[in-house]
Amino acid sequence: MARGSKSAGGSSNMLQWLGLAFILLLADQFTKILIVGYYHLGDSTYVTSFFNVVRVHNTGAAFSFLASAGGWQRWLFTAIGIIAAGVIIWMIRSHRGQKLFCFALACILSGAVGNVIDRLVYGYVVDFLDFHWAGWHFPAFNLADSAITLGAACLILDELMRVRRS
């Protein structure tokens, strides 16, 4: 099916993808509520030799990009997230019959909205997954970030498969 085609499923496919995004968003927000409710900033729980649960506040973007800016970045990243959500919803509507493509967009949508909610409610993004090895810690992240990463990987896979079919 061409990138611009629509499926015969109509709005039901659209609701399926938005429903998936909503479920992922609920999981993201639920885990963050647990972290905020049970952990103070900087608290950490050892889980395995390579993983801890922590509470970290990220005022920046990925890998704390612009975290030390004067506060304006909160509104910039909120605006970017809202615009991205609108574009993603439009893209899902336009391509709702393409399963992998729409799955990827639904994941990215849930993550973008989850982190926008954090910025609006807390003023920062709540991160809590801390993977480490031999003293090196990967930057802490959350389920929203995981959904965005999974979605990006699926977009790459979808494009590779599309090119291969051409």
Catalytic residues: 127, 145
Distance of alpha carbon 8 from alpha carbon 77, whole angstroms = 36
- Of 15, 159, 20, the closest CA to residue 93 belongs to 15
Element (H, E) at 116: helix 99-121
Residue tagged 């629509």 (tokens): 6
Residue tagged 């480490």 (tokens): 132
Which residues are CB-contacts of 75 (< 8 A; sequence separation ≥ 6)?
Answer: none
pTM for this entry: 0.85
pLDDT band at 55 (very low <50, low <70, confident <90, very high): very high
Cβ proximity of 125 and 55 under 8 Å: no
Residue 63 above 80 pLDDT?
no
100-114: average pLDDT: 96
Residue 66 above 60 pLDDT?
no
pLDDT score of 110: 97
